[in-house]
């Protein structure tokens, strides 16, 4: 029992399949985690870097536009044909100063991580220094020193404005370069993810192929084992049925020879004693009655002998034996049997004819015990393809078969006999209800192993 269980464990593909499933699920989990992290990285690059870089560039453009506005204002302030006092541009400078402060604040919030604190501080300090210088210019202009104020604009404010414009332009270039670098990093991540996808698909396919090959190999071993067990079961069934038929044949011979001869001798002695007794005496009547009983017992012993092992099969063949058996069924079981025989009887070996006869016996027993009807039809057809035996009744049908299956091995034995002769047996339901047992035996040349 232990060896059988171990053998079953060795043949079972379940452990290997479970291992393949676990590996596949583990690969999916690891790969999903990897893809999640890479996508999160892409989201950081696209939202936190690219979007911030674009917002930063917009603010730098806003600062650049304000600086250009300051440059145009200073050009107008230095125009010799301009007759307005320099202090007239003070309000414009204040407005641009306020807008620059707001732009610088938002730009500091949106600036990328690549921007150093020193760069941010330099831009803010430069703007602050420019407007400090502008305040001094407007103070000088307010005191009436217009020429000195214009000279200060040329020497200080325009230089500071040009420096700021250059700084902002440089920052814009850096932002463009950072955006291009971010795009390259994103493309690199996409390429890496794509390569990993291909690797994962390849590994998954490899696991699937390995699992499939293992399953195929395991199935081949299982089917080979099942085929071997089926062949062993068939051989065992053949041996059991052969031993059973041999035992029944021996019992039948003993009944026919020993008990039959004994009852025949008793009948002969009773007949001889009856002839010696006075014809009208009570003794003669008793002897005749005993002789009738002995004859009845002899007939029953011979009938039982034929039932156990029909020697008629060897002497007269299958067709005549079937006719004799059905007449016995009608007489002993009280069942009316309609018998139909068609075709030319095929030459079957002795064991095959015994199996056909036993299937007929079992089917008729089912009719008598479980169908609940007293009428049956038997059809025996022979042709080039082989022999077909049909036993039909219109009784209980499947319920009767199910009852028979629960109570004994009759149906199992019928299937075993069909398998042993390479034939088939079917349990069908006719249109009228009931049961139709169809046993087909192929011709000797068409038998399968």
Q: What is the CATH number of domain 315-446?
A: 3.30.565.10
Q: How many CA atoms lie within 13 A of 342 on its CB side?
A: 9
What's the average model confidence in pLDDT over 37-64?
77
Cα–Cα distance, 415 to 404 (Å, whole number) = 14
What is the chain's mean pLDDT, rounded?
80
What's the average model confidence in pLDDT over 122-148?
87
What's the average model confidence in pLDDT over 135-149?
87
Cα–Cα distance, 225 to 227 (Å, whole number) = 5
Query: What's the pLDDT tens digit per position in 98-127?
Result: 998 898 888 888 776 566 778 778 888 888
Query: What's the pLDDT tens digit per position in 153-193?
Result: 888 888 888 998 998 888 888 888 877 887 787 788 778 87
pLDDT at 357 over 60: yes
pLDDT at 379 over 50: yes
pTM over 0.75: no
Cα–Cα distance, 383 to 302 (Å, whole number) = 33
User: What is the per-residue pLDDT for 57?
Assistant: 83
Q: Mapped to the 3 state alphabet, what secondary structure does 349-373 carry?
A: CHHHHHHHHHHHHHHHHHHHHHHCC
Residues 324 and 360 sit within 8 Å (Cβ to Cβ): no
pLDDT at 405 over 60: no
């Amino acid at each position: 029992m232990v060896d059988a269980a171990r053998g079953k464990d060795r043949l079972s593909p379940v452990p290997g399949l479970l291992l393949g499933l676990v590996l596949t699920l583990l690969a999916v989990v690891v790969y999903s985690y990897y893809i999640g992290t890479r996508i999160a990285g892409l989201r950081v690059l696209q939202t936190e870097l690219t979007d911030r870089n674009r917002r930063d560039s917009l603010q730098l453009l806003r600062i650049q536009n304000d600086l250009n506005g300051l440059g145009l204002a200073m050009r107008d302030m230095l125009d010799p044909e301009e007759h307005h006092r320099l202090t007239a541009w003070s309000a414009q400078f204040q407005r641009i100063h306020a807008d620059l402060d707001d732009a610088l604040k938002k730009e500091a919030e949106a600036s990328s991580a690549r921007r150093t604190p020193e760069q941010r501080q330099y831009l803010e300090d430069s703007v602050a220094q420019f407007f400090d210088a502008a305040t001094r210019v407007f103070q000088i202009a307010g005191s009436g020193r217009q020429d000195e104020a214009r000279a200060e604009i040329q020497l200080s404010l325009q230089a500071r404005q040009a420096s700021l414009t250059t700084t902002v332009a440089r920052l814009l270039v850096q932002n463009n370069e950072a955006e291009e670098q971010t795009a390259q990093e994103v493309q690199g991540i996409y390429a890496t993810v794509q390569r990993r996808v291909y690797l994962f698909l390849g590994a998954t396919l490899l696991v699937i192929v390995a699992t499939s090959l293992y399953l195929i190999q395991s199935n081949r071993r299982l089917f080979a084992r099942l085929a071997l067990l089926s062949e062993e079961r068939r051989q065992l069934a053949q041996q059991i049925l052969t031993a059973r038929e041999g035992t029944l044949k021996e019992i039948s011979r003993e009944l026919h020879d020993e008990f039959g001869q004994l009852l025949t001798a008793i009948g002969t002695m009773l007949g001889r004693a009856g002839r010696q007794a006075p014809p009208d005496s009570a003794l003669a009547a008793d002897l005749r009655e005993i002789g009738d009983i002995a004859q009845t017992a002899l007939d029953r012993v011979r009938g039982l002998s034929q039932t156990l092992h029909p020697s008629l099969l060897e002497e007269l063949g299958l067709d005549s034996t079937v006719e004799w058996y059905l007449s016995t069924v009608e007489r002993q079981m009280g069942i009316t049997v309609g018998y139909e025989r068609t075709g030319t009887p095929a030459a079957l070996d002795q064991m095959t004819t015994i199996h056909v006869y036993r299937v007929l016996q079992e089917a008729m027993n089912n009719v008598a015990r479980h169908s609940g009807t007293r009428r049956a039809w038997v059809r025996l057809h022979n042709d080039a393809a082989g022999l077909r035996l049909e036993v039909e009744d219109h009784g209980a049908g499947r319920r009767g078969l199910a009852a028979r299956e629960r109570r004994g091995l009759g149906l199992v034995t019928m299937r075993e006999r069909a398998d042993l002769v390479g034939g088939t047996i079917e349990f069908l339901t006719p249109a009228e209800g009931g049961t139709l047992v169809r046993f087909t035996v192929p011709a000797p040349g068409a038998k399968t192993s």
